[in-house]
Amino acid sequence: MIFTIDIGNSNIVIGLMDAEKNLVFSGRIRSDLQKTKEEFQKELQNLFHDTCPIMPSQAEGVILSSVVPMLTSIIRDAMANLTGRRPIVVGQDIATGLHIKMDHPKRVGTDLLVDAVAAASEHPGTIAIFDLGTATTCSIVDGNQTYLGTIIIPGVQISQKALSEKAAQLPHIRFDHPGRLIGKNTVESMQSGVIYGTAAMIDGLVERLEDELVEPITVIATGGIAGAIVPYCKRKVIYDPELLLKGLWYIYYKTYR
């Protein structure tokens, strides 16, 4: 079994995956930049003690992806202390099997590449991967495992926070399912805008991508509030909350086994 770790802007997601790609344990902690390595190590230790089915030292290895450079070495060192294994940090020197067709390939976020590895390994043809986290990203990979490019949009939580902070009469809201499209009060109206607006954006972007590429596209959504958005999309969208962890699994087993 290996630990797969996604260090994101809001949360650090930890998975334990077996050799058959089954996720046997998962947990998350906050990406708190004020915490020390010792505090993160204690929090991870408590998480594993409470819910992990094995001792951390029994893991075969650790692989992580990070979009928060300030936390990368902290979590790497904490996991090394807990497992006795030197974690693999996914970077531009790690073989992914993807051909990156970007102006500056080395600037592509590792989280986007890891998502793309998992999607290309499990789905044929051209794929659009929507990752709804702090930012909403759409990565496009073709059937030859070529990373064609990315669309980056302000994330749902960022947009909602900005709306509440800049408009005095609009409150912070929970991302609950709206009762109807046309809201009858402020909260319901904002929930409708968040859920239906994001779903319509996904539908519309994919339609335009298919027009530009002149081929059908498989759509995958992961991260953050994707599970709340996907049911409101008009087109078929595959919801895969474990996509990034699976991408790390593929990289580990393709490269280090």
Active site amino acids: 111
Contact 62, 89 (CB under 8 A): no
The token pair that represents 114 in the structure block: 């890891």
The token pair that represents 92 in the structure block: 């531009």
Backbone dihedral region of 239: left (phi > 0), alpha (psi from -120 to 50 degrees) or beta?
A: beta
Going across the sheet that includes 11-17, the strands are 23-30, 11-17, 2-7, 61-66, 88-89
Q: Which residues contact 119 (CB under 8 A, 6 or more apart)?
A: 127, 129, 141, 220, 243, 247
Closest of 176, 211, 205 to residue 193, by C-alpha: 176
Q: Which of helix, strand or coil describes residue 248?
A: helix
